[in-house]
A = this chain, B = another copy of it.
Amino acid sequence: MTDSAAQVGHSNATRFRERLERHLESLFTARQSEAGEISPQAADMIGFIASLASGGKRVRALLAFDSFAACGGDADDHRILELGATLELFQTAALIHDDILDRSDTRRGQPSVHRAFETLHRRSGWELDPEHFGTSAAVLTGDLALAMADEAFARISAPAGSPLRRRFDRMKWEVMAGQYLDIVEEVAAPTVQPSAAAARSMTVLRYKSAKYTFEHPTALGALLAGASPEEERVFADVALPIGEAFQLVDDDLGVFGDPAVTGKPAGDDLLEGKRTYLIASAMERASAEEQSLLTRILGAGAADQEDIDRAREVLVSTGARDQALALADSLAALGAERLEQIELPSDASQDQKGALAHLKGMTLSAVARSH
Residues on A close to B: CB < 8 A?
31, 35, 38-39, 41-42, 45, 93, 97, 100-101, 103, 121, 124-128, 132-133, 135-137, 139-144, 146-148, 150-151, 154-161, 165, 169, 172-174, 176-181, 183-184, 186-188, 190-191, 200, 203, 207, 273, 299
Q: Tell whether, in the assembled complex, residue B38 and residue A207 are in contact, meaning their CB atoms are under 8 Å apart.
A: yes
Roughly how many angstroms separate A180 CA and B48 CA in the complex, as a whole number? 13
Q: Tell whether, in the assembled complex, residue A187 and residue B127 are in contact, meaning their CB atoms are under 8 Å apart.
A: yes
Q: Tell whether, in the assembled complex, residue B147 and residue A169 are in contact, meaning their CB atoms are under 8 Å apart.
A: yes
Contact A97 to B143, CB < 8 A, known contacts A180-B42, A186-B128: yes
Roughly how many angstroms separate A81 CA and B127 CA in the complex, as a whole number? 44
Roughly how many angstroms separate A174 CA and B140 CA in the complex, as a whole number? 11
Q: Tell whether, in the assembled complex, residue A187 and residue B38 are in contact, meaning their CB atoms are under 8 Å apart.
A: no
Roughly how many angstroms separate A121 CA and B183 CA in the complex, as a whole number? 11
CB neighbours of A121 from chain B (8 A): 187
Q: Tell whether, in the assembled complex, residue A144 and residue B42 are in contact, meaning their CB atoms are under 8 Å apart.
A: no
Roughly how many angstroms separate A191 CA and B150 CA in the complex, as a whole number? 37
CB neighbours of A188 from chain B (8 A): 124, 126-127
Query: Contact check: which of B100, B135, B191 meets A124 at CB < 8 Å?
Result: B191
CB neighbours of A103 from chain B (8 A): 132
Query: Contact check: which of B38, B190, B207 meets A177 at CB < 8 Å?
Result: B38
Roughly how many angstroms separate A78 CA and B188 CA in the complex, as a whole number? 42
A287 to chain B, nearest CB (A): 21
- Chain B residue nearest in CB terms to A42: B177
Contact A176 to B97, CB < 8 A, known contacts A160-B156, A187-B128: no
Q: Tell whether, in the assembled complex, residue B147 and residue A172 are in contact, meaning their CB atoms are under 8 Å apart.
A: yes
5 residue pairs of the A-B complex, CB under 8 angstroms, read: A136-B183, A141-B180, A150-B150, A154-B158, A154-B160
A24 to chain B, nearest CB (A): 16
Roughly how many angstroms separate A125 CA and B192 CA in the complex, as a whole number? 10
CB neighbours of A173 from chain B (8 A): 31, 35, 144, 147-148
A138 to chain B, nearest CB (A): 9
Roughly how many angstroms separate A186 CA and B137 CA in the complex, as a whole number? 12
CB neighbours of A100 from chain B (8 A): 135-136, 139
Query: Contact check: which of B157, B161, B181 meets A155 at CB < 8 Å?
Result: B161
Contact A127 to B299, CB < 8 A, known contacts A38-B207, A174-B38: yes
Q: Tell whether, in the assembled complex, residue B180 and residue A97 are in contact, meaning their CB atoms are under 8 Å apart.
A: no
A178 to chain B, nearest CB (A): 8
- Chain B residue nearest in CB terms to A151: B169
- Chain B residue nearest in CB terms to A187: B126
Roughly how many angstroms separate A144 CA and B184 CA in the complex, as a whole number? 16
Roughly how many angstroms separate A270 CA and B127 CA in the complex, as a whole number? 16
- Chain B residue nearest in CB terms to A120: B184
Roughly how many angstroms separate A2 CA and B31 CA in the complex, as a whole number? 46
- Chain B residue nearest in CB terms to A170: B34
- Chain B residue nearest in CB terms to A148: B173
CB neighbours of A144 from chain B (8 A): 173, 176-177
